[in-house]
Amino acid sequence: MGIWKDIKNLFIGMRITSKHLGRHAITVQYPEEKWTMPERSRGIVVLLSDKETGELNCTACMLCQKACPTGAITIDAPRDENKKRHLKGFVVDHGLCCFCGLCEEACNFSALKMATKYEFSALTKEELVWDVNKLQEVGRDVPYIDTRKKKVAAAKPAAPAPAGESAAATGTEGAV
Residue 57 is given by DSSP the state -
The rounded distance, in Å, linking the Cα atoms of 76 and 90 is: 6
Note the pLDDT of residue 25. 77
pTM over cut 0.75 = no
The rounded distance, in Å, linking the Cα atoms of 139 and 112 is: 9
**Domain range holding 78?**
36-139
Q: What is the pLDDT along the chain (176 residues), one digit of tens a residue?
A: 789 999 999 999 999 999 888 888 778 888 898 888 888 888 899 999 888 888 899 999 999 999 999 999 999 999 999 999 999 999 999 999 999 999 999 998 889 999 888 888 899 999 999 999 999 999 888 888 777 766 555 555 555 555 555 544 544 544 44
114 part of a folded domain: yes
6 part of a folded domain: no
3-class SS at 9?
helix
The rounded distance, in Å, linking the Cα atoms of 111 and 86 is: 14
Note the pLDDT of residue 155. 53
30 part of a folded domain: no
Note the pLDDT of residue 176. 46
Note the pLDDT of residue 152. 53
When divided into structural domains, the chain yields a total of 1
Rg (the chain; Cα; Å): 28
160 part of a folded domain: no
* CATH number of 106's domain: 3.30.70.3270
Question: In what helix (H) or strand (E) does residue 73 lie, and over which residues does it extend?
Answer: strand 73-76
Q: Are 88 and 101 in contact (CB under 8 A)?
A: no
In sequence order, what are the beta bridge partners of 114? 45
59 part of a folded domain: yes
40 part of a folded domain: yes
